[in-house]
Amino acid sequence: MDKVVSSAADAVADIPDGATLAVGGFGLSGIPSVLIDALLDAGTSDLEAVSNNCGVDEWGLGKLLFAKRIRRMISSYVGENKEFARQYLSGELEVELTPQGTLAERMRAGGSGIPGFYTATGVGTQVAEGGLPWKYDTEGNVIVSSPPKETKVFATAEGEKEYVLEEAIVADFGLVRAWKGDRHGNLVYRQSARNFNPLAAMCGRVTIAEVEELVEPGELDPNDIHTPGVYVQRVVALTPEQAADKRIEKTTTRPRPGAPDEALVDDAATHGLGG
């Protein structure tokens, strides 16, 4: 079955207002930026996004957030986005912060048909006991907080231990980016861009993949496939320009070999490292 769609706009055209999206990527690595831009252009709003983070102020999911198209976020890390913090603290955005490993497993469980699982992460904290602020009002008062979760004691090799029940996540749509993909929807991710993409692909009822290089069925070694085509319903082939348009969240540099010692001294003084 050929799952290739002619454009990103066509691929997201049936995503309605109020939909839940599982979005791949970690920071700005491996984010489906072309599909996100297509959603922005479509005017889709009132979205709930499940993603490790919400991009940055001017890229990735941060674009949808800045346009106030996102109603609710389930995520692990939001520290690089000032607009995210502003909307959350001013009561414009509901946020369910989730431990990173728990979020990954909730998404994997959703794609595996597992309704929930027990984990030790969060036991003895507000993650399990409830009370985490999900939404504020304009005056800074908490109006929605996390509910308490079921806990259970299990016998382990170290003795009895308490665990908390976490529910799986199943999203209406999954949006991912792959390095290579074929017309059947089989996907290969490259290096760190693998991150949350396989999980977002699994837990979406309808998964849309933008691929940097489209190949024909049979060209991918089955041993190299990270997401089987059974999880993917639509494939969008990127242009070379779209595939190359990648942003760096934080640039870290070091002096080039042979640079004058003064550069090292100046750099150390700038960062408070001088003796």
Radius of gyration of the chain (CA): 21
What separation, in Å, do the N-terminal and C-terminal C-alpha atoms of the chain show? 65
Q: Where are the domains of the chain?
A: 4-115+168-244
Closest CA to 77 of 21, 117, 28, 18: 28
Check residue 261 and give its pLDDT.
54
- Which residues lie below 8 Å from residue 129, measured CB to CB, with a gap of 6+? 148
How far is it, in rounded angstroms, from Cα 86 to Cα 92? Answer: 8
Check residue 262 and give its pLDDT.
47
Percent of the chain scoring above 70 in pLDDT: 94
Closest CA to 24 of 34, 13, 14: 34
Indicate whether 150 pLDDT > 80. Answer: yes
3-class DSSP state of 75: strand
Pairwise pLDDT comparison (261 vs 9), residue with the higher score: 9
Check residue 260 and give its pLDDT.
62
| Cα angle 36, 64, 166; round to 5 | 85
pTM: 0.89
- For the 4-115+168-244 domain, the top CATH level (class) is alpha beta
Do 51 and 23 touch, CB atoms closer than 8 A? yes
Locate 163 and state its tokens: 């665990």
Locate 138 and state its tokens: 């304009």
52 secondary structure, DSSP code: S
Q: What is the rounded average pLDDT of the residues 120-127?
A: 96
Q: Share the mean pLDDT of the chain.
A: 92
Backbone angles phi, psi at 34, to 5 degrees: -70, -40
For 106-154, the DSSP string reads HHHHHHHT--EEEESTTTTSHHHH---EEEE-TTS-EEEEPPP--EEEE
For 33-73, how does the pLDDT look when each residue is reduced to its tens digit (9 = 90+)?
999 999 999 999 999 999 999 988 889 999 999 999 999 99
Indicate whether 270 pLDDT > 60. Answer: no
For 180-211, how does the pLDDT look when each residue is reduced to its tens digit (9 = 90+)?
999 999 999 999 999 999 999 999 999 999 99
